[in-house]
Amino acid sequence: MFYSLVSLLILLIVLMIVCVIVANRKVLKNRKRVVQLIWVAVITATCYTAFILTPADRYGLACFAGGLYFLATDWLVVYLMLFAAAYTKVSPPSKVPRRIIGLLAVIDSVSFVINAFTHHMFDLKAMTAPGWGIRYWDVRFTPLHYVHRFFVYSLVLYSLCIFFYRFVKSPSIYKSKYGSILLQVTAVVGINILCSAANLYYDYSVALYASLAISICYLALYASPRKLLEKIHSTIIGDSVIGLFAYDNNGNCVGVNRAAEDLFGAEEDIYAAAERFLADWMKEFQENTDNVIGSERTFDNKGNKVYIYATYQKFSDGKGRLLGSCIQFENRTEVVKKIKAQQYKATHDMLTGLLNRNAFEEEASEILAKASVPYCMVCSNIKDFKLVNELYGAEAGDRLLKAQAEMMRASAEEGSVSARIYADKFCTLLPKSSFDEKVFLDNMNRILSDCLETTFRLHYYIGVYDITDVNEPVWTMYDKAMLAIEAVQGNYDQFVCYYREELLQHIMKEKEVLGEFDRALEEGQFCMFLQPQIANDGRVVGAEALVRWLHPEKGMVSPGVFIPTLEKAGLIQKVDLYMWECAAKKLEEWKRGGREDLFISVNISRKDFFYLDVCEAFRTLQEKYDFDNKKLKLEITESALMENVREVLRTVDGLHELGYDIEIDDFGSGYSSLGMLKDINADILKIDMIFLQETKNVRRSGTILKNIISMSKELGMPVITEGVETREQMEFLTSAGCDMFQGYYFAKPMSVEDFERGYC
Ligand code: C2E
Ligand code: CA
Ligand code: CA
């Protein structure tokens, strides 16, 4: 019995020293306190062993060794308390109580040392156990010894309380960390109390202290942290936002976490789904020998597209044998959606959903780089689109743009790309063979009439550039198609224009005209020329006023060069107002000079009806100048009528009321000349020179002319034919019943001075 206890104690001392050596090798949490505790336990066990080994005749030494043992128990509980505080992270007693405890421990310790002489704490008596024949030291405690015990048990109780508090307060996974030590300390203290109470020959609880120290070392430094780590790991994996499928070495799914369940749908057999996922993965990455492989994938979860980033990881043992594997996946759906939305925003026009400028350039360049067939660039522009917004609101404008975009999307063919470049300017790059002008125009007309339920007729232009060099920058192609539009802008009878090299020159010229126009008007570079009009009896009855630009450098510029440009730019009315005033002034002058029989006919541009109150302009003139209204004849081309019937008819009525005669100019040059005649209440018909110029079909032209003349006679309208260049023409027209002539045969347009010299 005695020897087994001694052997056990020696064994435990050795074990404790081994523990310290092992613990010191690694950096472990709480190691310092644990090592301190073990050292004190080593000292305690050693002192006790020494004490019980002290022979019966060495009473003084036994007292000293016993005192050391009790002294050591003081420090054992002090260090237990310090360990408990460190381990549970409950702060140890504050400075003052700590000092008091230290002081008490020191007093107690000193007291035990002195006890060897004074025996005020305990006394010893060498005994032999009856029957057993065992020698032992019988310890007889003095009342003061119980003070020591009280001190010791108080500290133990304090430590237990700390552990208990932590045990109760901590979440379940932490309970065993504190619970295991709490249980062991309680058990050891309990046994110690029992041992004391049983008054045994030896204090067996010393062995338990030593075992406890070893156990604490194991629990505190190894077991609990590892267990805790495992629990934390499994909690992290279970609750992680990262989905996880775990597989054994045969590819059978052995674990699925919650995120994975959520992602793959809980009602389905998630294990089967996980195995399918791995099988698919293996098919793709069989060749890959890497331990970790990442890949982006998508799958369908009840109709929702899910984007994930999956990582496959293999686990092998030291010999390279596969232990298992896992697939982790991050749900990237939201991120991908966000990125896609951003990408969409960066490359699309938000209103119409078509590509934007930059994206168009990129895609068009890509298409052209691979193009094996001829391509063309088609641009469109709605005329006066700004007006739509102003008159019908931005919503109506948006509706129109969306409808056009929809039309372009619906008719998009393989290998084409469309975009909204800016405002109402759309652009499509497509194979030339896919572009059907008529279909495009029909679609455009349908959109315009569907979108705006109004009588206001929108006009649009389409510019087409047949691409000859695919290496040209996309924007050069676009500019060329837009240039084609610019060339026809302002024309109401033309919708489509194909880019030609001359257009560029033409546009340059136009720009030149417009650049010089204001100054020219200010400096009086425009002047009135007159071309005589002759009655069929040979008398000069009047003249047509034709504008001439007397350019300081270019000399005389004829109206064919600048009038269309000014009409397009909306500036023609300035010239016309000027010309009408010149004519009115001249008529007043002639009236005063006694030549009131001559008339002057002036031209009214179709654009004047847009930009001017024509009636008002003539009313002002007659207020300002004294002339006979009947002597100022007004020429309106039939194309002006066709464009803007209502407005022109209203103006014509107004002008009639003011007493003017209206001539229909260029009659026969348009498409619906006859139809128009029934609507307009004109006074004179001016037949276009086209019928005289026609050389191939002289007979047919003659027939038409004859019929026009006889028809106008029936309508009671005098007829004037312009462009008469030969005597034969004049004779033919006379025989057909034409009333008046104008043409080079009689005279070319001339300056007013020349006209007056010749005819007044
Ligand atoms: P228009 O009103 O049809 O004027 C007649 C044009 O025919 C004039 O050309 C005249 O010079 C030309 N002409 C006259 N007799 C003959 C002929 O026998 N043979 C040929 N080949 N041509 C003849 P011009 O002066 O060059 O004017 C061209 C057009 O410019 C005019 O056609 C008219 O539409 C416009 N224009 C001229 N002056 C004005 C103006 O003050 N205001 C407006 N709005 N337009 C004007
Ligand atoms: Ca005319
Ligand atoms: Ca004419």
Q: Mind giving me the DSSP string for 587-599? A: HHHHHHTT-TT-E
Residue 729 CA: which ligand is closest? 1
Integer Cα distance of 95 and 641 in angstroms: 109
CATH number assigned to the domain covering 240-336: 3.30.450.20
112 alpha carbon to ligand 3 midpoint, in Å?
A: 140
664 alpha carbon to ligand 3 midpoint, in Å?
A: 9
CATH number assigned to the domain covering 2-235: 1.20.1070.10
Question: What does 518-585 look like in DSSP terms, one character per residue?
Answer: HHHHHTT-EEEEEEEEEETTS-EEEEEEEEEEEETTTEEE-HHHHHHHHHHHT-HHHHHHHHHHHHHH
Matching fold, domains 2-235 and 240-336: no
- Tokens, residue 575: 């010239």
pTM: predicted TM-score of the whole model, two decimal places: 0.55
Integer Cα distance of 187 and 205 in angstroms: 10
457 alpha carbon to ligand 3 midpoint, in Å?
A: 27
User: Residue 222's pLDDT is what?
Assistant: 85
| Sheet architecture: strand order including 243-248 | 253-256, 243-248, 322-331, 304-316, 292-301
What percent of the chain lies above the pLDDT cut of 90? 60
pLDDT at residue 223 greater than cutoff 90? no
Residue 531 or 460, more confident: 531
- Beta-bridge partner residues of 662: 634
- Tell me the H-state helices in 663-716: 673-679, 690-693, 698-714
Mutate to test the pocket of ligand 1, among 603, 727, 745 (most ligand atoms within 8 A of CB): 603
504 pLDDT tier (thresholds 50, 70, 90): confident
Question: What does 240-277 look like in DSSP terms, one character per residue?
Answer: -SSEEEEEETTS-EEEE-HHHHHHH-TTS-HHHHHHHH
Ligand 1 site, CB within 6 A = 531, 546-547, 558-560, 563, 572, 575-576, 579, 603, 605, 665-666, 689, 722-725, 742-744, 749
Integer Cα distance of 491 and 677 in angstroms: 23
The identity of residue 30, as a single letter, is N
Q: Are strands 632-637 and 661-667 parallel, antiparallel or unpaired?
A: parallel
pLDDT at residue 698 greater than cutoff 80? no
- Tokens, residue 201: 């020959």
- Tokens, residue 494: 């033309």
pLDDT at residue 611 greater than cutoff 70? yes
User: Residue 746's pLDDT is what?
Assistant: 96
User: Residue 623's pLDDT is what?
Assistant: 95
Q: Which atom of ligand 1 is nearest to the CA of 604?
A: 44
Residues with CB under 5 A from ligand 2 (ion): 603, 635, 665
User: Residue 734's pLDDT is what?
Assistant: 95
- Tokens, residue 385: 């689109």
Domain spans, the chain: 2-235, 240-336, 348-499, 510-759
User: Residue 386's pLDDT is what?
Assistant: 86
User: Residue 550's pLDDT is what?
Assistant: 96
pLDDT digits (tens, 9 = 90+) for 321-352: 889 999 999 989 999 999 999 999 999 999 99
User: Residue 284's pLDDT is what?
Assistant: 85
The identity of residue 65, as a single letter, is A
626 alpha carbon to ligand 3 midpoint, in Å?
A: 27
Integer Cα distance of 608 and 611 in angstroms: 5
Residue 545 CA: which ligand is closest? 1
The rounded mean pLDDT for the chain is 90
Query: CA-CA-CA-CA torsion for 728, 730, 731, 734, nearest 10 degrees?
Result: 160
CATH number assigned to the domain covering 348-499: 3.30.70.270
pLDDT at residue 38 greater than cutoff 90? yes
Indicate the helix (H) or strand (E) that contains 138. strand 135-141
Integer Cα distance of 106 and 119 in angstroms: 18
- Tokens, residue 243: 């989905």
pLDDT digits (tens, 9 = 90+) for 397-406: 999 999 999 9
3-state DSSP assignment of residue 759:
helix
Which residue in this structure is represented by tokens 């793709």?
A: 284
493 pLDDT tier (thresholds 50, 70, 90): confident
Contacts of residue 272, Cβ cutoff 8 Å, sequence gap at least 6: 253
pLDDT at residue 686 greater than cutoff 90? yes
Integer Cα distance of 52 and 65 in angstroms: 9
Which residue in this structure is represented by tokens 């691979």?
A: 370
Mutate to test the pocket of ligand 1, among 528, 546, 611, 688 (most ligand atoms within 8 A of CB): 546
3-state DSSP assignment of residue 656:
helix
Ligand 1: residue whose CA is nearest its atom 23: 723
pLDDT digits (tens, 9 = 90+) for 420-457: 998 899 999 999 999 999 999 899 888 888 877 665 67
Contact 254, 240 (CB under 8 A): no
Integer Cα distance of 91 and 578 in angstroms: 104
135 pLDDT tier (thresholds 50, 70, 90): confident
- Tokens, residue 387: 């007006």
pLDDT at residue 86 greater than cutoff 80? yes
Give the number of other Cβ atoms within 10 Å of residue 363's Cβ.
18
198 pLDDT tier (thresholds 50, 70, 90): confident
Nearest Cα residue to 116 out of 166, 69, 56: 69
User: Residue 454's pLDDT is what?
Assistant: 63
Ligand 1: residue whose CA is nearest its atom 33: 603
pLDDT digits (tens, 9 = 90+) for 229-262: 888 888 888 888 889 999 998 889 998 988 888 8
Q: Which atom of ligand 1 is nearest to the CA of 558?
A: 26
pLDDT at residue 373 greater than cutoff 80? yes
Counted residue by residue, the chain has a size of 760
pLDDT digits (tens, 9 = 90+) for 350-360: 999 999 999 99
Q: Which atom of ligand 1 is nearest to the CA of 576?
A: 42
Give the number of other Cβ atoms within 10 Å of residue 377's Cβ.
27
Indicate the helix (H) or strand (E) that contains 307. strand 304-316
User: Residue 719's pLDDT is what?
Assistant: 96
3-state secondary structure 313-378: EEEECCCCCEEEEEEEEEECHHHHHHHHHHHHHHHECCCCCCECHHHHHHHHHHHHHCCCCCEEEE
Ligand 1: residue whose CA is nearest its atom 2: 603
User: Residue 447's pLDDT is what?
Assistant: 86
Contact 419, 401 (CB under 8 A): no
Which residue in this structure is represented by tokens 């008719």?
A: 411
User: Residue 559's pLDDT is what?
Assistant: 95
696 pLDDT tier (thresholds 50, 70, 90): low
Q: Which atom of ligand 1 is nearest to the CA of 666?
A: 3
3-state secondary structure 63-120: HHHHHHHHHHHHHHHHHHHHHHHHHHCCCCCCHHHHHHHHHHHHHHHHHHHHHHHHCC
Burial class (CB in 10 A: 0-12, 13-18, 19+), 536: middle
521 pLDDT tier (thresholds 50, 70, 90): very high
CATH 3.10.20.600 describes domain 510-759: no
Ligand 1: residue whose CA is nearest its atom 44: 605
Query: CA-CA-CA-CA torsion for 600, 601, 605, 611, nearest 10 degrees?
Result: 50
Integer Cα distance of 301 and 324 in angstroms: 27
Q: Are strands 425-431 and 417-422 parallel, antiparallel or unpaired?
A: antiparallel
Contact 481, 498 (CB under 8 A): no
Which residue in this structure is represented by tokens 């209204």?
A: 629
Integer Cα distance of 499 and 501 in angstroms: 7
Integer Cα distance of 625 and 630 in angstroms: 14
pLDDT digits (tens, 9 = 90+) for 19-34: 999 988 877 788 899 9
Question: What does 437-483 look like in DSSP terms, one character per residue?
Answer: HHHHHHHHHHHHHHH--SS----EEEEEEE-S-TTS-HHHHHHHHHH
648 alpha carbon to ligand 1 midpoint, in Å?
A: 21
